Amino acid sequence: MGQLEDMEIFTEIVRAGGITHAADRLNIAPSAVSRRLKDIEARLGVQLMNRTTRQMALTETGRAYLAHAERILSDVEEANNEITRASGEISGSIKIAAPLSFGLSHLAGGLSDFMTRHPQVTLDVDLSDRRVDLVQEGFDLAIRIGNLPDSSLRGRKITDIPTVLVASPAFIEKYGPLDSPADLDGLPGLVYTGDTTAGNWSCKSPSGQEIKFRIKSAMLCNNGDMMREASAEGLGLLRVPSFIVEDALRFGSLISLFSDHDWGSVGLHLLWPPTRHLSARTRVLIDHLAETLAKGCQIEKAKQPDAGSRANG
């Protein structure tokens, strides 16, 4: 076996956090990965990793070897990328993670266009509201929406998606008249799991004045599509990124509340692991998605009658 392959296996063990996960990602038996690690150490005459029954940790020599291995593999990948760019064709597999609701509404078209242009690329797409671990789970790219916690991930912000407040016609009829966002205080609302506001919502009036109110949490949920349907059934107010309710607003099952007020926005980001050199195919996909998603997310606020005046009518 070649030394480049040894380096690839060793760096994968480190990235995956252990032999078993590395074996899954390399699609080979754990025993084979373990044997290769021992062979590498025997050939070099050093111990690269300290092993216990529960964990593995790099030795000082292992950290030095990892740095050299990553640099060498990066140079090899870059050389391959140069040839690929010169030939104008890309190939290989890209593993992508994206939120379920956003993936269903905005991702399919962009990826279909990408595949038409680059038929030699295979996409492995994971749609889930679970926040995946890009390094541990072997993802090349992830789409994230919202404020990003501090992390070592590298990324690119695509655009900001406006947040809207909506409710069903039946809800508005039941709880109206609604003359101001302050009238929403104490009304039932649907809250996304992990929302740190704890039901304390706010917005800014057209003049810039901050208006605060507290909703009564009627349901916690981690999926925007289910929250949209629950709100359309009259279960509560819903404050979400506009793409989740775009169709419901157009068809009238939900109505935008106080659309002249600023309900904030959430960022749309593309992220990738810091330890992985970007392949040419991933770079091309990032540029493609940056363009197509930015265009797709320029959603105007629905031109619905203001719910406050409608509820008073």
- pLDDT tens digits, 117-165: 888 899 999 998 888 888 778 888 999 988 776 566 788 888 888 999 9
Contacts 24+ apart (CB under 8 A), 191-194: 191/215, 191/217, 191/219, 191/220, 191/221, 192/220, 192/221, 192/222, 192/224, 192/227, 192/240, 193/220, 193/221, 193/222, 194/222
pLDDT of residue 164: 94
Strands 188-192 and 237-241: parallel
Question: Per-residue pLDDT averaged across 281-285, rounded?
Answer: 88
Q: First CA to last CA across the chain, in angstroms?
A: 78
Residue 62 is predicted with a pLDDT of: 87
What CA–CA distance (Å, rounded) separates 238 from 249?
Answer: 12
pLDDT at 58 (0 to 100): 87
Mean pLDDT of 229-250: 93
- Summarised one tens digit per residue, pLDDT across range 33-64 is 888 889 888 888 989 888 776 777 888 888 88
Binning pLDDT at 50, 70 and 90, where does residue 254 land? very high
Over residues 228-244, mean pLDDT: 94
pLDDT band at residue 188 using 50, 70 and 90 as cut-offs = very high
The pLDDT of residue 150 is: 55
Measured CA distances, 153 to 141, 142, 156, 270, 275 (Å): 10, 10, 10, 10, 9
Q: Which of 131-135, 242-246, 249-253, 302-306 has the lowest mean pLDDT?
A: 302-306
Taking 50 as the threshold, does the pLDDT of residue 310 lie above it?
no
Residue 264 to residue 268: CA distance in whole angstroms? 13
Q: For tokens 């990003």, name the residue.
A: 148
Confidence of residue 305 (pLDDT cuts 50, 70, 90): very low
pLDDT of residue 306: 45
What is the pLDDT at residue 13? Answer: 86
pLDDT at 307: 44
Query: Which of the pair, 296 or 111, is modelled with greater confidence?
Result: 111
More confident residue, 17 or 296: 17
CA dihedral of 222, 224, 225, 231, whole degrees rounded to 10: 100
**CA 198 and chain centroid, separation:** 23
pLDDT at position 51: 79
pLDDT value for 299: 43
The pLDDT, as a whole number, for residue 89 is: 74
Question: Taking 80 as the threshold, does the pLDDT of residue 106 lie above it?
Answer: yes
pLDDT at 185: 93
Q: Are 184 and 174 a contacting pair, CB within 8 Å?
A: no
Query: What is the secondary structure of 102-143 as a DSSP string?
Result: HIIIIIHHHHHHHHHH-TTEEEEEEE-SS---HHHHT-SEEE
Which is more confidently placed, 279 or 167?
167
Q: Which two tokens stand for residue 288?
A: 């493609």
pLDDT at 98: 93
Ordered domains of the chain (ranges, CATH):
3-86 (1.10.10.10), 94-151+267-296 (3.40.190.10), 161-266+301-312 (3.40.190.290)
Highest mean pLDDT among 83-87, 133-137, 202-206: 202-206
Mean residue pLDDT of the chain comes to 84
Identify whether the C-beta of residue 154 lies closer than 8 Å to the C-beta of residue 245: no
Residue 298 reports pLDDT greater than 70: no
